[in-house]
Structure 1
Amino acid sequence: MDGSKPWYLSRTVWASLVTVAAAVGGLMGRSVGLAEQMLLTDALLQIVTAVSGVVAVMGRFAATAKIS
Structure 2
Amino acid sequence: MGGYTNSKPLYASRTFWGGVIAILAGAAGMIGYVVGPDDQAQLAEIATAVASALGGLAAIAGRIMATKPIE
TM-score for the superposition, normalised by structure 2: 0.87
Question: Partners in 1 of 2:29 and 2:35 — Cα distance?
Answer: 7
Question: Partners in 1 of 2:64 and 2:5 — Cα distance?
Answer: 31
Q: Secondary structure at the match of 1:67?
A: coil
Q: % of aligned pairs identical?
A: 34
Question: Partners in 2 of 1:22 and 1:12 — Cα distance?
Answer: 15
**Superposed CA offset, 1:17-58 (max 9, x none):** 100110111111000111100110011111111111111101
Report what 2:34 is aligned to: 31
Aligned Cα RMSD in Å? 1.2
**Where does structure 1 differ by over 4 angstroms across 4 or more consecutive aligned residues?**
none
Question: Partners in 2 of 1:52 and 1:20 — Cα distance?
Answer: 23
Report what 1:60 is aligned to: 63
Q: How far 1:2 sits from its partner (Å)?
A: 4.3
Q: How many residues are aligned here?
A: 68
Question: Partners in 2 of 1:66 and 1:24 — Cα distance?
Answer: 47
Q: Which runs of 5 or more residues in structure 1 are unaligned?
A: none
